[in-house]
Structure 1
Amino acid sequence: MRSEVLLVSAPGKVILHGEHAVVHGKVALAVALNLRTFLQLQPQHHGKVSLHLPNISCKRTWDVAQLQQLDTSFLEQGDASAPTPEQVEKLKEVAGLTEDCAVTERLAVLAFLYLYLSICRKQRALPSLDIVLWSELPTGAGLGSSAAYSVCLAAALLTLCDDIPDPRKDGAPTGRWAKEDLELINKWAFQGERVIHGNPSGVDNAVSTWGGALRFQQGKISALQRPPALQILLTNTKVPRSTKALVAGVRSRLIKFPEIVDPLLTSINAISLECERVLGDLVAAPTPEQYLLLEELIDMNQHLLNALGVGHASLDRLCQVTTAHGLHSKLTGAGGGGCGITLLKPDLERAEVEATKQALTSCGFDCWETSIGAPGVSMHSTASLDGPVRRALGDL
């Protein structure tokens, strides 16, 4: 078992195209978002394991000796098997969670304990650890924050227990794991997601593990080859929405108007495929015309999503603001509020970007300038992290 401090990060995700259509067997393109979750794991000798999640004001500590005495036979040793409802109930007892605990905190703690006990129980003794996770991703915004959390935990714990190696080579400040190691990380992270979400698609943890861009259709996930790192504005309207209700609404509309809605879903599928083609061309030989095509696809998809009934006045306002600045936006995720993305072409003037961000902030929205197509889960040296991230982890 390793004794050095481990630093790991993993990206969030956005859906570029294919929202809602993917539920009906069409193609969706999911891309890694360069807003990341960072984990610091520090081995200790104080007989405790602690979890600190400052983004949700959560700090929990357990006695390792007490955890060691627990009957954890309900966990399959060394096997990333799906947690059953009975296992989750037993984890609640282990965690000491009460009913007045916030849902976000409860699920995060359960996922941590599941991964910690499952991955580390084959060691002679459960390790004493301090773990801090800090994220640039807002929770509950459809940006894959829980998946990035699970991926960071899985990667750090598997490395700690020597199930996978430290991927940094020859003193490199940052390293990424080999394919077979990433597959193991992804497998365990999916189980963490199952604890949190019950029956997730696996897209979010796959994007967070592999990075770049993924094509998803009918449960099959494949990576796009070397996608470009496109610059975007990511805007959170902060309007809450129910993904379940929005998905049900589209299904109801499809049943009611099949000859209208089915062609909408087919068109969204065609947009995903065309975007995949354009992204490939951008890598091979980027031209201004390809960015114009991406903008057209964004506009068309936004109109189609509105026709499906998953738009919202806040998203209309977002599109109006960015259109006034010559930019093109669409919702990302379930819609009904939530987040939108705006493409930033390489030749865009800096002043125009700042003016757009200010206009969106004036609407009461949160706005980040970031990129998509970011690298997946990675291990870092302390020196390789940006100053703000280093300070955030060091001060916690």
Structure 2
Amino acid sequence: MERVEVSAPGKLMLFGEHAVVYGRPCIVTAVDHRMRVAVEIADGDNLELYAPDVDVVGYVERMNNLGGKEAPKGTRFVSVAVRNFFNSFGIKSGLKIETRSDFSSEFGFGSSSAVTVGVIKALSEVFEKPLDNKKIFNLSYNTILDVQGVGSGFDVAAAIWGGTIYFVTGGKKIEPLAVSELPLVVGYTGVKADTPTLVRQVANFYEENKGLVGKIFDSVGDITKESRKALLKGDYKRLGKLMDENQVLLEKLRIGSPELSNLILAARKGGAYGAKLSGAGGGDCMIAFVPKDSAKLVEKTIEEKGGKIINVRTGARGVRLED
């Protein structure tokens, strides 16, 4: 096979952000905004990359120097994924890779993990090296750690398995949950969050206050476990209450922002069951569980506070081959 195209979904964190880095569980759902990756075998020993979403067009890198520090930021996840895959299987080849996203990298939908998973899956197909989901996870997760040094892997799992997942750091537990599409409203603050910086910020806070922050993480973990039960029952009113409790704890971790607070309060005012930030904090998106007859009003109140509504469907299919 000389050329393949695959796609992988983005994600939204429902419960457990930051605490998941420290061994507590989280719940994440895949969304129907997808990252598309095309891989083609080429002559020579170069990687040629087209990633117009991150302003990379026709970037060429030598295969013996993949993922170097001097490489543009928008290329590193792709380059390191190729390097790790080739090293795992002893492959040498030239490649052309093109990536296209259905969503902006500014939303915090996990574009880095989605593109990494997409590249690993596409390489496994084009070089006929079958990989099960756990092997794709291990290669992809190691790539994320190689590039940014930190991460729990929940967004990698969402991109691979799809659906809604109960997850523990490093893939120690990956439990797909049998739930239907969720009644969520998603509001974008207009502020791009820097995930690695926020993760390090929380890590520093933890080092300075292990007792206090450890208790916060424990409480977040307990909320996540309760949320799993409520999700399986379809108890969205209970989930909204748990969201509000989770948000209080996230604010104690100092990762809120005025923009997030404004949209969260607006969603509650509009009739949401509950609302919280989703992801690293500091910006990006907030989410709200809403009664179906209140969704439009919740969206309106969010927009009135300067938020942008992002239409998503949850529980999207995981990484897949495209025709």
Query: Would the TM-score normalized by the shorter structure come out above 0.5?
Result: yes
Provide the C-alpha distance between the structure 1 equivalents of 2:270 and 2:187, rounded to a whole number of angstroms: 15
Asked if the contact 1:231–1:369 (Cα under 8 Å) also holds between the matched residues in 2, the reply is no
Provide the C-alpha distance between the structure 2 equivalents of 1:47 and 1:114, rounded to a whole number of angstroms: 12
Asked if the contact 1:22–1:218 (Cα under 8 Å) also holds between the matched residues in 2, the reply is yes
Listed one character per residue, the Cα deviations across residues 339-389 of structure 1 (whole Å, up to 9, x for unaligned) are: 2112244x336xx42x544543454434312133222111122xxxxxxxx
Which consecutive unaligned segments of at least 5 residues does structure 2 have? none
Q: Residue 203 of structure 2: which of 244, 248, 273 is its match?
A: 248
Q: Residue 132 of structure 1: which of 67, 73, 98 is its match?
A: 98
Equivalences for 1:248-287 in 2 at 5 Å? Answer: 248=203, 250-251=205-206, 254-255=209-210, 258=211, 263-282=215-234
TM-aligned CA deviation for residue 149 of structure 1: 0.4
TM-aligned CA deviation for residue 317 of structure 1: 0.3
Equivalences for 1:195-344 in 2 at 5 Å? Answer: 195-217=146-168, 219=170, 220-239=172-191, 240-241=193-194, 242-248=197-203, 250-251=205-206, 254-255=209-210, 258=211, 263-282=215-234, 290-327=235-272, 328-344=274-290
Provide the C-alpha distance between the structure 1 equivalents of 2:246 and 2:265, rounded to a whole number of angstroms: 15
TM-aligned CA deviation for residue 274 of structure 1: 1.0
TM-aligned CA deviation for residue 311 of structure 1: 2.1
Within the alignment, does 1:375 sit opposite 2:317 as a pair? Answer: yes
Listed one character per residue, the Cα deviations across residues 13-59 of structure 1 (whole Å, up to 9, x for unaligned) are: 22211123334433222222332111233456799753211111102
Provide the C-alpha distance between the structure 1 equivalents of 2:148 and 2:290, rounded to a whole number of angstroms: 33
State which drifts further: 330-339 or 242-251: 242-251
Match of 1:91 in 2: 66
Residues 1:20 and 1:41: Cα distance change in structure 2 (over 3 Å) = closer
AA paired with 2:281? Answer: G
Provide the C-alpha distance between the structure 2 equivalents of 1:301 and 1:139, rounded to a whole number of angstroms: 25
Paired residues, what number? 318
State which structure, 1 or 2, has the greater radius of gyration over its C-alpha atoms.
1
**TM-score, normalisation: structure 1:** 0.70
Residues 1:92 and 1:186: Cα distance change in structure 2 (over 3 Å) = closer
Asked if the contact 2:82–2:120 (Cα under 8 Å) also holds between the matched residues in 1, the reply is no
Match of 1:161 in 2: 127
**TM-score, normalisation: structure 2:** 0.84
* Secondary structure of 1:50's aligned partner: strand
Q: Residue 27 of structure 2: which of 29, 54, 68 is its match?
A: 29
Listed one character per residue, the Cα deviations across residues 191-235 of structure 1 (whole Å, up to 9, x for unaligned) are: 332332134322221221112233333542221332332142222
Provide the C-alpha distance between the structure 2 equivalents of 1:200 and 1:306, rounded to a whole number of angstroms: 20
Residues 1:244 and 1:280: Cα distance change in structure 2 (over 3 Å) = closer
Provide the C-alpha distance between the structure 1 equivalents of 2:233 and 2:266, rounded to a whole number of angstroms: 30
Which consecutive unaligned segments of at least 5 residues does structure 1 have? 73-89, 165-179, 283-289, 382-396
TM-aligned CA deviation for residue 304 of structure 1: 2.5
Provide the C-alpha distance between the structure 1 equivalents of 2:189 and 2:141, rounded to a whole number of angstroms: 28
Provide the C-alpha distance between the structure 2 equivalents of 1:262 and 1:194, rounded to a whole number of angstroms: 23
Asked if the contact 1:41–1:131 (Cα under 8 Å) also holds between the matched residues in 2, the reply is yes
TM-aligned CA deviation for residue 140 of structure 1: 5.6
* Secondary structure of 2:271's aligned partner: coil
* Secondary structure of 2:179's aligned partner: coil
AA paired with 1:144? Answer: G
Asked if the contact 2:66–2:80 (Cα under 8 Å) also holds between the matched residues in 1, the reply is no
Provide the C-alpha distance between the structure 2 equivalents of 1:160 and 1:380, rounded to a whole number of angstroms: 13
* Secondary structure of 2:313's aligned partner: strand
Q: Residue 360 of structure 1: which of 276, 299, 302 is its match?
A: 302
Match of 1:193 in 2: 144
Match of 1:182 in 2: 133
* Secondary structure of 1:372's aligned partner: coil
